[in-house]
Structure 1
Amino acid sequence: MEFNNEMLISYSKPLSFTEENRCKNAIQMISTALKNEGYSETEGITLSFSDTYAYETRLKKGSREIKLLVQGSYANKTNVKASSDVDVAVIQENVFNTNYRAGVTDKNYGFSSSAYRSDQYKKDIYDDLISYFGPGSVEWNNKCLSIEGNSYRTDSDAVPARRNRDYRGDYRMDSTNYVGGIRIVPDKGEPIVNYPEQHIENGRNKNNSTNHYFKKNVRIIKKIRYLMKDARISSADNVSSFMLESLLWNIPDYLFTTEADYLKKFEGILNYIKNSSSWDEYKEANGIKPLCGTAQEKSNLIQFITDLNNFFEPVY
């Protein structure tokens, strides 16, 4: 497919000025639903990081402490699909999972086990949302609870999660010295540990260090992926938008700023990726997990990049 500079400029732009309002609306309505069920807001809705839409708030009900956080492409201002839902992590903070190095246990930190299971937590959040939004407005899915939008509320996914504390780098037995992620337990499949706060902060920093061209090019590659899907190129179905955003996060900053022309800039980024020998060193945009966790994921991504280079025909 032929691409010119004007096309890539249009792809690089944020979806619309209403995206921020969608994020605010999503976190506000979930917060309101939980407050309707006895939670109180301990911190008002604020931005986790400037120049993002990563709104957050904290609530409490008895001993239960929850953080709501807008995450994903909306939070990172890299969304290119108008119909996508806003992801809001509903993170339980006071009950958490831990990772330790060999020889260290809960006893070293004075922690005790909780009988409150992740599946029960998801059920409790579901019941709270149903009580407020009404039957038929909330759909139970494998990883999330989808809230149906209407004329005054946003289509949203509430993602029940529990804080994950990784103490493997702590040698002081300091309970506050951990890498904080979130642990999602699907109905089917293995638990997933993600790092949304680090992803948001790293993306913001990368964007600033590239004169805001990082996220522009993320939007470009995401948009072209959808064009490839429309063209029935199967490799586009085997990589996620998050994987592509993370891939570009690993690319040296100078490639985003050397060329003023968007077409030359993107072509230079693609050429760098195509000739890369560092696939096993690349990380997700959170800077913690490997970009390709399995050989299959690596194969899928390399095939996508090969097909993308064939699909992308620059016209100067």
Structure 2
Amino acid sequence: MADLQNNDTHESSPARAVLLESFGGPENLTLQDVPAPHPGPDEIRVKVTVAGLNPMDWFMTSDADTAARFGLTLPSGYGTDYAGVVDEIGEGATGYSVGDRVYGAALSRALADFVIVKADGNIASGVAHHTPDGVDDQTAATIAIAGSTAAAALEVLNLSPNDTVLVGGAGGGVGLFAVQLARAAGARVIGTGSPATAEYLTTLGAEPVAYGEGLTDRVRALDGGPITAALDLHGTDTVDVARELGVPDNRICTIAAIVEGVPAANGATTSAESLQDLAQLIADGVLRVPIAAAFPVEEVRAAVELQAGRHARGKVIVEL
């Protein structure tokens, strides 16, 4: 028999969830009381302590047509990354116990007191991974989306100590993982960003170079040998520069655009083992996740505005 907590203890007090009654900007986000959910067969319930924000959160809910592509309907939840504690287990769900610390992804519904996820699920159905000792919930809530995307991209590039990789958009949420994973693989990393992010990129292990017109010449002027691989985390500008620098298409990777001949990485295909390896690197102190700002859930609109502005140096989290 599954270890199912008494649901009656939760029925008398409603839970909270951040909801959108109409798609659009952060001004449409409201914190509402909702019925406390309970897990069905093969599901677990997680008491969320922290949710992490990603660009995909506001992109998916920016308008009705985009939301429909992701299967979202109104009223819609918000946010995908979460961390917390398992507090109910549905019949047949295995691999978890009440009290286990977990992190994971629940597509556009992580900003809530409780999320229901499949015990063996995926991002769409909700997924949970055990949080390693040595990783706090604030950090764990940043891992699932950006970490899995970075891990997928690094699997495509298969970097070694013989590589010098150009990372476009290195200062973003995926970039902070990608830069450090590339460094952990022994590669030299050149990261593009604004001049204001140079010091931050250096702390991640990248050699900073300003993006924009003339990037090819600025990269050529750096000492240390040719660029052998490239990762474009924003669009296609870095792809174009990498091609000018002689990087073959099979050693270039995108995450936000499709370019003919260039492989694209998708975090949804990252194995659970790869993500857990990344989490363990954080626990071991090999990787670090800078937290740019933490907001209480009552200030979710301000948190989303900061994250959507793309100027935060590190991850933005919301605490429940």
TM-score, normalized by length of structure 1? 0.25
| Structure with the bigger percentage of helix | 1
TM-score, normalized by length of structure 2? 0.25
